A = this chain, B = another copy of it.
Amino acid sequence: MIKHIVLLTWQEGVSQAQIDAVTSAFQELGKEIPEVLNYSFGQDAGIYRGNANYALIAEFRNEADLKAYVVHPSHQALLSTVTGPILKSFQSIQIKV
């Protein structure tokens, strides 16, 4: 299995409503793309300082399913319209487990 992990850092001044819109969009996307086996996401819990602001973990059977997700039009639309406009930086990784 492949775990696809993304940590997101928002621009200054992003509102809770904008973050909630990210969460809603991921909830919909996880239901829409059948290749996603498990989908976990959420904002930083506020326990430690210096953290990223938001994380997403998506699990896939294999590399082909991961790539189908990445290029899926609904995923690309989310990146363009929901996370993209409020994003300062992000870091990704895929690990085989």
Binding site for B on A (CB under 8 A): 2-3, 5, 7, 40-45, 47-48, 50-55, 57, 63, 66-67, 91-97
Contact = CB atoms under 8 A, between A and B. Distances in A.
A33 to B, nearest CB: 17
Q: Ordered nearest first, which 3 A-B pairs have the shortest CB separation? A: A42-B95, A52-B93, A45-B94
A93 B40 CA distance: 13
Contacts of A97: 40, 42
Given A50-B92, A91-B91, 5 more contacts: A5-B7, A45-B96, A47-B63, A51-B94, A52-B91
A53 B6 CA distance: 13
Contacts of A7: 5, 7, 91, 93
